[in-house]
Amino acid sequence: MLPYIDLGFVKLSLYGPIFLVGAVIAIIIVRLLAKKAGVERSDALFAVIYGMIGLVIGAKLLYFFTKLPSIIAKFDIYIDLFKMDYVKALDFAFGGMVFYGGLIGFALGVIRYCKHFKVPVWGLVDLYTPFLPFVHGFGRIGCFFAGCCYGIEYNGPLSVHFPYNEVVPQLSEVSRFPVQLVEAGLNFICFAVLITLMRKELNRAEGDRKLKQGQLCGIYLVYYIVVRTLLEFLRGDALRGKIGFLSTSQIISVLLIIPAVLLLRAKNRERVFFVPATENHITKTQGIDKNK
């Protein structure tokens, strides 16, 4: 729709700022809820930063893996392209991002932070989970503006005819299904459900909570596996990679079924937002001032 805004000295791609707006709003709300969820506010912020680094690396790497078969198949042409214009060659190999790579990268970044600084992982996982579809929704709106991740040819109600996009010229050839906006809408609905569940649990006493650690994440994963698998059939951008009749994302969705089930099962896990008893926690709750 509007891939970039020309500011005169630079063309500002809209995808990044839209994604950033969603991320900043999410980080602000996460920090506000952190204390109630038993997480230090500084940990809530720093772990997100580690997660965002992992997100970019993971999303770019998975995109590269979807392009790798093409590059290997026509390696001599790719080398010629690299010699003529390495910018375009690098853009071909790394110019996009894949959500699942970003999700896995984000999770690994957060886990790395927790292991390094000995912070409980589950508290952060449960705190962040509702905001994953929230930020992703903003990302899909960015996709709509950028013209990427577009839908199949479609001429029915709510079809969209994109203007000519020099980066994706085939986008404007036909009217298309607004799959980016549909996925964004579904993500925001998922966010509303998860944040409602989260707030209900936070307002209950620890012993009365019904969910266990990781189950919020399991609910989100199940939702996304189903939605993404179905929406992939409405995607028109074949360049993102296929193996047989399944797209890369559908295959990853299948692989994530087992982790989703394990998260939902929550065997041997504490109640959600469980705060482990530490010396500081005990002395504070008992009103003991160790400095006296």
Enter the tokens of residue 130. Answer: 């509702």
Rounded Cα–Cα distance for residues 226 and 39 (Å): 31
Report the nearest approach of other proteins to the CB of residue 222 (Å): 30
Touching other proteins, residues 138-177 (CB under 8 A): 167
Report the nearest approach of other proteins to the CB of residue 4 (Å): 5
Q: Which stretch binds other proteins (CB under 8 A): 6-14, 147-155, 156-164, 219-227?
A: 6-14
Query: Pattern of binders to other proteins over 222-241, x per CB under 8 A?
Result: ----------------xx-x
Rounded Cα–Cα distance for residues 247 and 237 (Å): 10
Of the pair 53, 251, the CB lying nearest other proteins is at 53
279 binds other proteins (CB under 8 A): no
Long-range contacts of 141-144 (CB under 8 A, 24+ apart): 141/18, 141/180, 141/181, 141/184, 142/14, 142/15, 142/16, 142/18, 142/19, 143/15, 143/180, 144/1, 144/178, 144/180, 144/181, 144/184
Of the pair 82, 154, the CB lying nearest other proteins is at 82
86 binds other proteins (CB under 8 A): yes
Residues near other proteins, by CB under 8 A: 3-4, 6, 8-13, 15-16, 20, 42, 46, 49-50, 53, 69-71, 73-74, 77-78, 80-81, 84-88, 91-92, 95, 117, 167, 238-239, 241-243
